[in-house]
């Protein structure tokens, strides 16, 4: 049986009496995170997106295959193509594919097929799952692995003061053409990134309390 070489673990050294304060401080930052649909044209400082993707790529993955690809789209013409293709799918979704129950759940958020944020945000990160192909091995727990990576990506971008939105048009095959990716890569998330527009509004939503999401056994 082949095993990987092992190296000593170098864990973070957090004094026990500071652990709760560290956890609370991180929560206080992340509790301010909101999905944003109105973006400023203000440029993103150099290096921020690259460091955020590096952070996302630290996520655990099944068999350590790391089955993700992050495509950074900043070219205005390509963003326009992305928006036009996404809106075509979204028009079909809202008109024909979505059930009445689904549309009712979306109604309080106020979404529709218009997706101007795909063009207004200075950057869009398209996240692909990487499946088995000529130059990529078979992945394991792909959706779970990529989902964890995206969670870290959103946290890293928020820590840098940037706003995001997780957009999931369905179907997503058009993204392979727009982003020039091979067939073994399957789009999973479209994430506009930037600073909120002046006067941006968000729905008045409330997160569940701890006792609604935590079960102690």
Q: Is 156 exposed, middle or buried (0-12, 13-18, 19+ CB in 10 A)?
A: buried
How big is the chain, counted in residues?
217
The per-residue pLDDT string of the chain (217 residues; one tens digit each, 9 = 90 and over) reads 567 789 999 999 999 999 999 999 999 999 999 999 999 999 999 999 999 999 999 999 999 999 999 999 999 999 999 999 999 999 999 999 999 999 999 998 889 999 999 999 999 999 999 999 999 999 999 999 999 999 999 999 999 999 999 999 888 999 999 999 999 999 999 999 999 999 999 999 999 999 999 999 9
Alpha-carbon distance 134 to 153, whole Å? 27
Distance of CA 83 to the CA centre of its chain: 17
Tokens of 12: 């973070």
Alpha-carbon distance 51 to 40, whole Å? 21
Alpha-carbon distance 142 to 67, whole Å? 6
Give the model's pLDDT for residue 109.
Answer: 87
Give the model's pLDDT for residue 110.
Answer: 87
Give the model's pLDDT for residue 4.
Answer: 74
Other beta carbons within 10 angstroms of residue 147's beta carbon come to: 16
């Amino acid at each position: 049986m082949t095993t990987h070489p092992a190296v000593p673990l170098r864990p973070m050294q957090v004094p026990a009496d500071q652990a709760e304060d560290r956890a609370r401080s991180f929560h206080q930052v992340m509790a301010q995170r909101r999905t944003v649909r109105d973006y400023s044209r203000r440029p993103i400082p150099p290096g921020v997106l690259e460091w955020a993707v590096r952070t996302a790529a630290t996520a655990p993955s099944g068999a350590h295959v790391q089955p993700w690809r992050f495509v950074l789209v900043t070219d205005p013409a390509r963003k326009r193509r992305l928006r036009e293709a996404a809106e075509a799918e979204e028009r079909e979704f809202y008109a024909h594919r979505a059930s009445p129950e689904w549309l009712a759940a979306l109604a309080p958020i106020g979404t529709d097929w218009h997706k101007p944020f795909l063009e207004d945000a200075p950057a869009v990160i398209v996240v692909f799952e990487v499946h088995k192909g000529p130059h990529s091995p078979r992945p394991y727990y792909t959706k779970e692995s990529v989902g964890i990576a995206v969670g870290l990506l959103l946290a890293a971008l928020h820590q840098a003061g940037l706003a995001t939105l997780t957009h999931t048009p369905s179907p997503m095959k058009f993204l392979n053409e727009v982003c020039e990716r091979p067939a073994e890569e399957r789009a999973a998330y479209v994430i506009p990134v930037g600073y909120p527009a002046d006067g941006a509004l968000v729905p008045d939503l409330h997160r569940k309390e701890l006792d609604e999401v935590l079960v102690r056994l």
